[in-house]
Amino acid sequence: MAADDPDPSGPVRIANKGDNNNIAGRDLVIGNNNTLGTGHTITQGSLPLTPVPPAARHVVAFYQTGTTTGDPGQPYVSPAPLAGQADVVEVAAFHLNDPAQYPILTLNSDAPSAAKYVPMWRDVAALQAKGVKATALLGGAAPGTYTRLDQNFDMYYPPIRDALRTYKLDGIDLDVEEPFTEATAERLINQLRADFGPSFLITLAPVPTDLSTADGSRLPQLDYRTLENNVGTKINWYNAQFYCSNGSLADTSDYDAIIQNDFPASKVVAAAITNSDLDCAGYVPMPTLQTTLRTLAGKYPSFAGAAGWEYAPSADVDEPGCPTGPANWYCAVRHSFAANTP
C-alpha cells in the first residue's frame, strides 16, 4: 500500500482527494492523493468470417465505490441491478503491500475478508449465479503492486492466486499504472493461465496510446504490442481507458488508431467514464457515446464492447426500458449494441 494510505486501524472514508490523470483502480480513501477510481484470443489474421452478434459484445462494470458497508456517510451500493445489463463486474482494486505495514493483499485498504465486504461478496456471488462474470482488478494508480511482483514474484503471486480461488472469481484485470517489466508481465499471465485454465478471463487495462504505439518502443518496461505478440493467445481482451486525457470516445478516431496498430477489434473493449461529475476529463454524454459505439459496431463486426468506470456514481441517463440508478448507464450501452445488429 502506498505510503500515504490511511492508518488501517481507523475508519476508511470514500472521497475524491486528488488529481492523478489515470483513475482506474485507485483507492478512494481519505488520506490518499488519488481521484475517483480507476477477448477473445483471435488474431488479426483469423477474425471470424461472419459478424459477431451483439450478445458477444461485452459490457464491463468497474465496481469500487460502494463496495463497502459501515463507513460513515458511505452507504453500500449493491451491484445486483447489473444483472442483465453487464456481463462482467470487476471488483476494484486489489493491491499488494509491504506485509510489515499491511496485509500482503488488500481490497482497497482492508483485507478482502473484512466484514465491510460481506454484503458485496454475497451480491457478487448472486450475480455469478445469473451468468455474470466477476473478476478482480489488480493494481491501478495506487503504486507498489507491480513493483513488488517484479521484485519478488514467488512471494507476491501466491496471495493473488489464493484470493481468486477463495472468492471464486472468474478472472483478473491487470491494471498496470507503474513501471513493470515485460518479462514479469509475461510470467504473470502464463502462471495465471496455467493455474486457472482456459475459461478464466485475463484482461488488461491500458490507456489507448499504449495500444497504438509501435512494437518494442517501450521496452524494457511493459510494451503492449510486444505483450500481444508473445502471449496474446492467453489474453482475453484489453479494457482500454478512453478518459482522463488518455483518449476519447467522442468519435472513433482514437479507437481506430489501435486497430491500425494490428490489435483486433475483438480484443479491444472501449472503456468510458460514467459521470461528468467525476474528477476526470473525457466524459462523453450518452447520446454521443451511443453513436460512437454503434459506429464502431458497424465498422468492426467483431468489436468487443464497452466498459464503464465506475458503477456506483454512474449517471442515470434516462434510458427507457432500463433500471433506474447507476445500472441505467450500462443498460444504455447495451442498447447501443442491440440497435446495431450486424
In order of 74, 229, 314, the CA distances from 224 in angstroms are: 37, 8, 29
**pLDDT, greater one: 11 or 189:** 189
Would you say how long the chain is, in residues? Answer: 342
Mean pLDDT for the stretch of residues 159-180: 98
CA distance 325 to 315: 7
**pLDDT, greater one: 74 or 250:** 250
CA distance 284 to 297: 17
**Residue 10 class from Cβ within 10 Å (0-12 exposed, 13-18 middle, 19+ buried)?**
exposed
User: Which region among 45-49, 313-317, 329-333 has the lowest average model confidence (pLDDT)?
Assistant: 45-49
pLDDT at position 318 is 96
The answer to whether the Cα torsion of 84, 310, 160, 12 is positive or negative is: negative
Reported as a single tens digit per residue, the pLDDT across 191-227 is 999 999 999 999 999 999 999 999 999 998 999 999 9
pLDDT at position 74 is 79
Mean pLDDT across the chain, nearest whole number?
85
- Asked whether 31 and 45 are in contact (CB, 8 A), the reply is no
Secondary structure of 175-188 as H, E, C letters: EECCCCEHHHHHHH
Domains present along the chain, CATH in parentheses: 49-338 (3.20.20.80)
pLDDT at position 335 is 96
Alpha-carbon radius of gyration of the chain: 18
197-218 in b/e form (b: 16+ CB < 10 A) is eeebbbbbbbbbebbbbeeeeb
**Residue 265 class from Cβ within 10 Å (0-12 exposed, 13-18 middle, 19+ buried)?**
buried
CA distance 308 to 86: 10
In order of 62, 63, 319, the CA distances from 328 in angstroms are: 14, 15, 6
CA distance 202 to 175: 11
Confidence class for position 13, pLDDT limits 50, 70, 90: very low
Closest CA to 80 of 40, 30, 126: 126
